[in-house]
Amino acid sequence: MSDVNQSRREFLGKTAAATAGLAIAPGVMLIDMAHGRAPEDAASSSVRWGMLVDSNQCKPGCNDCVTGCNKENGLSGGTSETDSQWIRKVELKDLRSGITASLPMMCQHCAEPPCVDVCPTGASFKRADGIVLVDKHICIGCRYCVMACPYKARSFVHEELTDQNPDVPRGKGVVESCTMCVHRIDKGQNTACADACSAAGHNAIIFGDLNDPNSEIAKRVATYATKQVRADLGLNPGVRYQGI
């Protein structure tokens, strides 16, 4: 066989593979997208979105989840008394043993959310898949939910905002908090904090469906001892902690 033929065959083979790849790619993409939710479908109660935070993997001083959240949701990152903070790193020290721990704290997306109970207009609401949100159109800015939240997870917008992310509308005079990156989840993606934590190589935040026995989060919750913050309140939060 001549060299010409040889190279022609190689060329044809590569072209065929590339063509096949191009033909299959959209299908693969579709399969990937199928994990997300079509816009016309309602959120399903068969899903319970949640996050598992492994405090053993969370590094004190690392703030990547906070930075990732701020970037994704268009928050300024300011930490004055009036700035919004959807997620924060909390450093803990046991008063007796002196043992320390570091963990991110955000809206715990309770199954029985006190913020939803107290909201006079129903602006605070829980989606069927367990995500607790604020409807910015009917929030009157009374801040009763901020008073009611046991996790100090909510912020009130004290001034005019600029440079918003179109996917995450916010507004002066209304209350806001972690949305569990609902705009990403609905597209089948991870939360920004979990992605940032993975990128930093810590993998301390796992996002997933607590109701799906095959999901990593459900398996971990079934295998290891996890904790709910203020479990005494019986709120059944969607965010669980390991290692505290």
Partner 1 sequence: MSAISLRQIEGRSMGYYMLLAAFGLFVLFGLGSALYMEHNGHIVTGMNNQVVWGMPHVFAVFLIVAASGALNVASIGSVFGKSMYKPLAPLSGLLAIALLGGGLTVLMLDLGRPDRVIVAMTYYNFKSVFAWNVFLYTGFFTIVAAYIWTMMERRMNAFTKPLGVAAFIWRLLLTTGTGSIFGFLVARQAYDSALLAPMFIIMSFAYGLAIYLLVLMVAFNETGRPLGDKVLLRLKKLLAVFISASLYFVAVFHMTNLYFAKKHGIESFILMNGGIYTQLFWIGQILLGGIVPLAILFHPALGKSRTWIAVSSVLVILGGLAQMYVTIIGGQAFPLELFPGMHESSSFFDGVIHGYKPSLPEIMLGIGGIAIAGVITTFAIKILNFLPASLEDKVMDAHHGAKQ
Residue numbers at the binding site for partner 1 (CB under 8 A): 66, 79-85, 88-96, 101, 105, 114, 116-123, 138-144, 146-152, 155-160, 172-175, 229-230, 233, 244
- CB nearer to partner 1: pick between 20 and 231: 231
Q: Which two tokens stand for residue 176?
A: 């806001």
* Dist CA 242 CA 227 (whole Å): 6
Q: What angle do CA 173, 179, 66 make, to 5 degrees?
A: 95
The nearest distance, CB 132 to partner 1, in angstroms, is 14
Q: Based on the number of CB atoms within 10 Å of its own CB, is 154 exposed (0-12), middle (13-18) or buried (19 or more)?
A: buried
The nearest distance, CB 117 to partner 1, in angstroms, is 5
- CB nearer to partner 1: pick between 9 and 230: 230
The nearest distance, CB 241 to partner 1, in angstroms, is 10
Nearest alpha carbon to residue 120 among 143, 137, 136: 143
The nearest distance, CB 199 to partner 1, in angstroms, is 21
Alpha carbon 228 to its chain centroid, in Å, reads: 17
- CB nearer to partner 1: pick between 26 and 77: 77
The nearest distance, CB 58 to partner 1, in angstroms, is 13
Q: Are 90 and 152 in contact (CB under 8 A)?
A: no
* Dist CA 68 CA 201 (whole Å): 14
* Dist CA 171 CA 63 (whole Å): 25
Residues 6 or more apart whose Cβ sits within 8 Å of residue 137: 123
The nearest distance, CB 15 to partner 1, in angstroms, is 56
- CB nearer to partner 1: pick between 43 and 233: 233
- CB nearer to partner 1: pick between 77 and 188: 77
Q: Which two tokens stand for residue 11?
A: 């060329």
- CB nearer to partner 1: pick between 208 and 237: 237
